[in-house]
Amino acid sequence: MRKKVTKAIFPVAGLGTRFLPATKSVPKEIMTLVDRPLVQYAIDEARAAGIKEFLFVTSRGKSALEDYFDHNPILEQELRKKGKDDLLETLKSTNMESGAIAYIRQHKALGLGHAVWCARRLIGNEPFAVMLPDDVIAAEKPCLQQMVEAYAETGGNMVAAMEVPPEKASSYGVLDVAEDMGAVVSARGMVEKPAPGTEPSNLAVIGRYILEPSVLRNLNKMKQGAGGEIQLTDAIAEDISAGKPVYGYRFRGQRFDCGSKSGFLQATVAFALARDELRDDLSRYLTEVIHAKQAAE
């Protein structure tokens, strides 16, 4: 019987330079889509998939992220006093039980693979998930939950995957597909940021992974890859070379790249339009903006 995936690593040590000056003092991961920080979307998705231990790989200047998951007795007392039970209920999802969350410092920015490697001692010899909060996925069934269910059938390593335009493939890790079985594909290789025109497919790896502990042992070798960084993709590809199965999973849902300003804005609009109390006013405003622009042209 396969071990359940109950631990997840959240690499959140990045400086968020694309969102300066906001990220000078505010960690990018707690910037909000409507009224919830990016990291809350990732946490909710992880919980839905059965994750019980949340491991954050952080860096200097992320104390606000750590505080976000702590209890705030004064705020809770004020809400209780004013009878705002709905807001109290909302706060519950932001609180983490003692011992459920851990923070590990990444002292040097050496790549995603290095960030994952930093959490190795807390993973041990178990399968684990990796979630990149920048990738926000709107789905009826949360993406990681879909993957956990597929992993129960396949085992091995599994990465979330989606088709991208060929001209954009060089910005991603890309799968070399051995067999396409629909939602699941088996991979014969993986290439991180292939040179334009050399990509083995247009099936790109997105920020959700279920990995075997053998990947951590591969990362122990500290091999530098694309950009001089220690690439997680390379460590997964090494498992393929060793004859271990690696699968891509075509998730059902819409992915937003919230590491970019345009993706962040698109996600904000999409999540706002999904809210009953916001939809009508926002739709009306967007319609007015479009009409005004068309009239001006």
Across 43-76, b (16+ Cβ under 10 Å) vs e yields: bebbbebebebbbbbbbeebeebeebbeeeeeee
CA distance 251 to 183: 7
Are 6 and 51 in contact by the 8 Å Cβ rule? The answer is yes
pTM tops 0.85? yes
For the chain, where are the E strands, in sequence order? 7-11, 32-33, 36-37, 53-58, 101-105, 128-131, 135-138, 157-163, 173-180, 184-192, 203-211, 246-250, 254-257
Is 124 in contact with 169 (CB distance < 8 Å)?
Answer: no
**pLDDT band of 1, cuts 50, 70, 90:** low
Q: What is the pLDDT of residues 275-293, one digit of tens each?
A: 999 999 999 999 999 988 8
Question: Which tens digits make up the pLDDT trace of 146-170?
Answer: 999 999 999 999 999 999 988 888 8
What DSSP designation does 126 have?
Answer: S
